[in-house]
Structure 1
Amino acid sequence: MASRTNNILIFGATGTVGKHIARSIVESGDFGRVGIFTSPDSIKTKADAIDGLKDRGVEVITGDITVQQDVEQAFNGFDTVVSCLGRTVLHKQLQMIELADKHHDVKRFFPSEYGTDIEYWPNSAHEPPHQQKLKVRAALRDVKDLEYTYVVTGPYADADGGLFLGAAPVDKEAAGTFDVKRKRAVLLGDGNGKISLTTMRDVGELVVAATKHPEASRNRALKVNSFTATPKEIVAEFEQQTGGQAWDVSYTSLEQLKEMEKEAHANGDPRAGPLTLRRIWTEGGTLYDRRDNELIGMEDKMTSLPGAIKQAVQVQTG
């Protein structure tokens, strides 16, 4: 029988998606103990966010994620670990997994998987942005006692900096943009390719739901999302919610996107990884015959396309 979650420890709770996951866990009220592990530096630089969690009854554990003793002690009393670590520190999960597998309290681990499916196609194993997540999956498959769940959501349907429904700087808009203030969009491909997206708020709700359905989510990838739409459908919804006027729309073809990606990787451009992901999405690398939402009771509880666009408009217009 799969382990039920009672007490959750969160790593990366103040990050881009981590803050949404932490909020959903706290607001659910379904767990006996909720803690976050954070660094001394974050205690200083993210004091408001951490104080807000404290006010909600969250236990704050300070330590260094690279120090074995700090991590082992942090695990005490927690049966479930939820990692929300960012892309640049995903490799730090390898030691966390090893220690969690040996710890007498920890029974279940949610790695920082939120996003593109890293095993969608056979050639997914060769995509540069997937390498650290693939190592994490390999480590979890080798554990003896630790259960795990990958929450695979596809790209984030949000307008925060750099995300799919956001406004890119003018000089970088060829990689895709939905610019509310300029009423300008650059669509990838021919605009007709479907993309499955998930709002970050929904990511949090999906993680909570997965903990409540331990048998359905045990030792597997849950392929879930908020909605599926084409870029043309997305821009049409933006037009409707911004006065009904037609936006200025242009296109970056898949071949152009591939050339941009190739050049970025050759030049060591930090945009290389995001360009690879956008190429994968444009090729259809987020689509399935059916999703796993219903397995965890979330088939009718996700944000719709209009709801996501409403949030994006509010973010972009302040």
Structure 2
Amino acid sequence: MAQKSKILIIGGTGYIGKFIVEASAKAGHPTIVLVRESTVSDPVKGKLVENFKNLGVTLLHGDLHDHGSLVKAIKQVDVVISTVGHGQLQDEFKIIDAIKEAGNVKRFYPSEFGNDVDRVHAVEPAKSAFAAKAKIRRAIEAEGIPYTYVSSNYFAGYFLPTLAQPGATTPPRDKVIIPGDGNPKAIFNKENDIGTYTIRSVDDPRALNKVLYLKPPGNIYSLNELVALWEKKIGKTVEKIYIPEDRFLEDIKEAPFPINGKLSVFYSVFVKGDHTNFEIEPSFGVEASQLYPDVNYTSVEECLDQFKKHSNGSEQDFVNRRHRLHRKIPVEASAKAGHPTFVLVRKSTLSDPVKGKLIEKFKNLGVTLLQGDLHDHGSLVSAIKQADVVISTVGPMQFEDQLKIIAAIKEAGNVKRFYPSEFGVDADRNNAVEPAKSAFAARAKIRRAIEAEGIPYTYVPCHFFAAYFLPNLVQPGATAPPRDKVIIPGDGNPKAIFNKEDDIATYTIRSVDDPRALNKVLYIRPPKNIYSFNELVALWEKKIGKTLEKVYVPEEKLLKDIQEAPVPLDTLLSLNHSAFVKGDHTSFKIEPSFGVEASQLYPDVKYTTVEEYLDQFV
């Protein structure tokens, strides 16, 4: 029997990496994982590392930024598999350079494990993510390095627990949102099967210099078929709401960061059908379940069985609650405060099946709907001329479009105050790292444009949305507050601010006619909503009557986690770094020269405290 290849896995402690490490070791391959020294002592990944050791995996200390250690590691193996996160894709050029210098590698697997990046019809921000992976492919081919690209399509553990409903935490029991007509077929593979198929291919000449597609027939479903299967399992018909393509594209543009990334991937898969809209030609690809029919993979139906057992019918849409701040709450606050309130809407929004009820509610509140579009300068100017104050709550994908609002305000010439879309960290006073850094920089760019045009303004950094961060006590990926263990970035001492969304709207609307907030930053810092992570955990422990295990993640480790994390988790972690490690919510004093504090200006506003908010989760 031929000797099995020695395999080096880079990024082996990441989400998909751990499955590939385990599959390699269990298949009998001499397996080496490149780890930083800090990973071995990491409180979270330490247990994973111990599991690797128990499987006979060899740990090599090294780093992508240490060329010598990288070359040394590569020289010990036959096959290199990279499973680094999206934030480290550019670092794969370092792996390519090291492979070229080592000169012994028989196969390189770059970090892909998703759509075939050469055969997609994506829009931003997914388009840029796919382009980054395609760039790595071209570099590998240019250097003549033997390769296999693994197109594993969707991770079952990421998409099936919610039936691909953005922001949901359980499968739907009443209503399901379906982009497009629901007919394009997608593919959902369990993560350990992805590991198994990947490792089976490393010594297979049929997969050399090919794309290895993972398309097991029992895992290919359209969204309509997936919903029908789920309905059969729960014995209930759910309401289906179809979102037309043009409307879905607008939703992607308007969605907050990072949910826009997930929606743009959904567009590629569920509207354009990029998992299955092409034939696999022998010239470029092979299909894993045909190459290895003996692999007993977990089917979609089997995956759904476990969610049926654990689904209790409650649906908590925390991500979309954040999205709704940008649409619903400021409008309601304005109307209820007695301001003549106009909402600029596209014609398609009026007939939108999801937003129709919201539009009706606005009408019942006396809100005037004006048809227009950010890309229609005339309609924008016409709308602005009817108002004194303009408030923008567009999503991150439309930040640049606010330059169009600025141009229209300048032409209209009547606006007494402009509120650009901020509602987060002060874009001028933070120490953020990517990808949050770029998001904040985009907001700062809009600020400078407003000031350059001499437009009166108020900027509103409202810090953290309570509905997005408090329901899981800021535990990335969790769907409920912790009951046993809590992960704390840094030392847990910097103070952050958590405000309920309707309070943010109330304070914002209170300021529109207040000269004290003119050309100032309106900070929303109610004293009872300011908590360090340690204080927040202590409050939660008091409420549940239990002490939690606290795992502190040093800053250096958190920065590495951000680089390795997949989209959109990297964004959430970088926001946590800004708030909980750098203390960007509270690390400076509000000087009268640039800012005012909302709860001091309006002490009569009865805001919801963090303590009151947490009561609902006890």
Q: TM-score range by the shorter chain?
A: 0.7 to 0.9
Q: Distance in 1 between matches of 2:123 and 2:110?
A: 18
Say whether the 8 Å CA contact 2:64–2:94 is kept in structure 1: no
Say whether the 8 Å CA contact 1:177–1:187 is kept in structure 2: no
- Note the C-alpha offset of 1:280: 0.4
Say whether the 8 Å CA contact 2:82–2:109 is kept in structure 1: yes
- Residues 56 and 294 of structure 1: CA distance in aligned 2, closer, same or farther (over 3 Å): closer
State yes or no: 1:260 paired with 2:251: yes
Alignment partner, residue 532 of structure 2: none
Shifted more, 230-239 versus 117-126: the winner is 117-126
- Residues 117 and 48 of structure 1: CA distance in aligned 2, closer, same or farther (over 3 Å): same
Which 5+ residue runs of structure 2 have no aligned equivalent?
281-285, 313-478, 480-618
- Residues 241 and 40 of structure 1: CA distance in aligned 2, closer, same or farther (over 3 Å): farther
Which amino acid in the other structure matches residue 206 of structure 1? Y
Match of 1:233 among 225, 234, 237: 225
Alignment partner, residue 335 of structure 2: none
1:278 is paired with a residue whose SS is helix
- Note the C-alpha offset of 1:182: 4.7
- Note the C-alpha offset of 1:316: 6.1
Alignment partner, residue 12 of structure 1: 11
Say whether the 8 Å CA contact 2:80–2:108 is kept in structure 1: yes
Say whether the 8 Å CA contact 2:22–2:55 is kept in structure 1: no
- Note the C-alpha offset of 1:192: 2.3
Provide the TM-score with structure 1 as the length reference: 0.83
Alignment partner, residue 77 of structure 2: 78
Greater Rg over alpha carbons, structure: 2
Q: Distance in 1 between matches of 2:21 and 2:94?
A: 22
Shifted more, 75-84 versus 191-200: the winner is 191-200
- Residues 298 and 274 of structure 1: CA distance in aligned 2, closer, same or farther (over 3 Å): farther
- Note the C-alpha offset of 1:292: 1.4
1:207 is paired with a residue whose SS is helix
What is the alpha-carbon root mean square deviation over aligned residues? Answer: 3.0
Alignment partner, residue 289 of structure 1: 279
Alignment partner, residue 136 of structure 2: 136
Match of 1:272 among 236, 260, 272: 260
Say whether the 8 Å CA contact 1:216–1:295 is kept in structure 2: no
State yes or no: 1:40 paired with 2:34: no
Q: Which deviations, in whole Å up to 9, do the C-alpha atoms of 1:241-294 show, x marking residues without a partner?
A: 33x223344333322321122234xx7x22333222111002111113356125
Say whether the 8 Å CA contact 2:121–2:268 is kept in structure 1: no
State yes or no: 1:202 paired with 2:193: yes
1:1-318 superposed matches below 5 A: 6-29=5-28, 31=29, 33-43=30-40, 44=42, 45-121=44-120, 127-144=127-144, 146-158=145-157, 163-167=158-162, 173=165, 175=166, 179-180=170-171, 182=173, 184-213=175-204, 215-226=205-216, 227-242=219-234, 244-264=235-255, 269-282=257-270, 283-287=272-276, 288-289=278-279, 292-293=287-288, 296-298=291-293, 301-313=296-308
Q: Distance in 1 between matches of 2:102 and 2:209?
A: 18
Which amino acid in the other structure matches residue 310 of structure 1? D
- Note the C-alpha offset of 1:58: 0.4
Say whether the 8 Å CA contact 1:115–1:155 is kept in structure 2: yes
- Residues 182 and 156 of structure 1: CA distance in aligned 2, closer, same or farther (over 3 Å): same
- Residues 232 and 37 of structure 1: CA distance in aligned 2, closer, same or farther (over 3 Å): same
Shifted more, 187-196 versus 279-288: the winner is 187-196
- Residues 190 and 96 of structure 1: CA distance in aligned 2, closer, same or farther (over 3 Å): same
Q: Distance in 1 between matches of 2:170 and 2:52?
A: 33
Provide the TM-score with structure 2 as the length reference: 0.45
Which amino acid in the other structure matches residue 196 of structure 1? I
- Identity of counterpart residues, as a percentage? 24
Q: Which deviations, in whole Å up to 9, do the C-alpha atoms of 1:60-83 show, x marking residues without a partner?
A: 112221111121122231110111
Say whether the 8 Å CA contact 1:293–1:299 is kept in structure 2: no
* Matched positions, count: 300
- Residues 102 and 122 of structure 1: CA distance in aligned 2, closer, same or farther (over 3 Å): farther
- Note the C-alpha offset of 1:42: 2.2
- Residues 314 and 138 of structure 1: CA distance in aligned 2, closer, same or farther (over 3 Å): farther
- Residues 207 and 186 of structure 1: CA distance in aligned 2, closer, same or farther (over 3 Å): same
- Residues 110 and 82 of structure 1: CA distance in aligned 2, closer, same or farther (over 3 Å): same
Which 5+ residue runs of structure 1 have no aligned equivalent?
none
Say whether the 8 Å CA contact 2:79–2:106 is kept in structure 1: yes
Alignment partner, residue 399 of structure 2: none
